[in-house]
């Protein structure tokens, strides 16, 4: 790729960024060398960083993208505040908080819980990326159907029978103690 082609590609990408609502106000800079795109600057959320990468990746003629854009908030934000913002975003995106919860550690958000809905899990991921201070999202949500199958598979028939017998005898002992 020639210098002229790199310069044209750089102008095209910079123009796209500068016209995109939600990204244009950040002053993100682009450099292109031999078809390799280098993005530099700051955004507030992981969602914006991902949006930028996706937007640039659609441009024809790019060999690779180095997304050096940093997620930075205007002030110091601690993990408790990040977690609170994630919960607010989860609620706003229709995620049942009884199924999926979140915890932030060092700006990395861990989504945990159980859900049978792939849509709910995807909504939770998308919601978490929109909260300020989130640097990455780790998904630790189990599918409820998988969890139930694992429980049944791990217990033998003998164990199931004995657990039921033990429950029955405990109920009898508790009942006898109340009389």
Residue 177's pLDDT is what? Answer: 46
Residue 154 confidence (pLDDT): 54
Compute CA distances 9 → 1, 76, 134, whole Å.
10, 36, 31
Helices (H) and strands (E) in the chain, counts: 6, 6
Backbone angles phi, psi at 42, to 5 degrees: -135, 145
73 in Cβ contact with 104 (< 8 Å): no
Could you give the domains of the chain?
Answer: 3-71 (3.30.1340.30), 79-145 (3.30.300.130)
pLDDT digits (tens, 9 = 90+) for 128-170: 999 998 999 999 999 866 555 545 455 555 555 555 554 444 4
Q: Are 99 and 113 in contact (CB under 8 A)?
A: yes
Q: State pLDDT tens for residues 103-129.
A: 999 989 999 999 989 999 999 999 999
Tokens for 140, please give them: 């630790």
This model's pTM is above 0.75: no
So what's the pLDDT on residue 130?
93
50 pLDDT above the threshold of 80: yes
Give, to the nearest 10 degrees, the angle between helix 79-92 and helix 118-129: 130
Distance in angstroms (rounded) separating the CA atoms of residues 95 and 90: 5
């Amino acid at each position: 790729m020639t210098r002229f082609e790199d310069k044209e590609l750089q102008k095209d990408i910079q123009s796209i960024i500068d016209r995109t609502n939600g990204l244009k106000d950040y002053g993100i800079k682009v450099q292109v060398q031999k078809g390799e795109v280098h993005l530099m600057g700051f955004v507030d959320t992981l969602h914006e960083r991902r949006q930028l990468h996706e937007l640039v990746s659609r441009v024809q003629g790019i060999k690779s993208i180095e997304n050096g854009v940093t997620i930075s908030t205007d002030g110091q934000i601690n993990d408790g505040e990040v977690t609170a913002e994630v919960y607010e975003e989860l609620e706003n995106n229709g995620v049942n908080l009884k199924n999926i919860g979140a915890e932030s550690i060092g700006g990395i958000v861990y989504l945990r819980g159980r859900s049978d809905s792939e849509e709910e899990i995807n909504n939770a991921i998308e919601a978490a990326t929109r909260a300020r201070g989130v640097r990455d999202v780790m998904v630790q949500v189990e599918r409820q159907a998988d969890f139930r199958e694992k429980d049944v598979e791990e217990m033998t028939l003998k164990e199931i029978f004995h657990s039921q017998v033990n429950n029955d005898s405990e109920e009898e002992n508790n009942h006898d103690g109340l009389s």
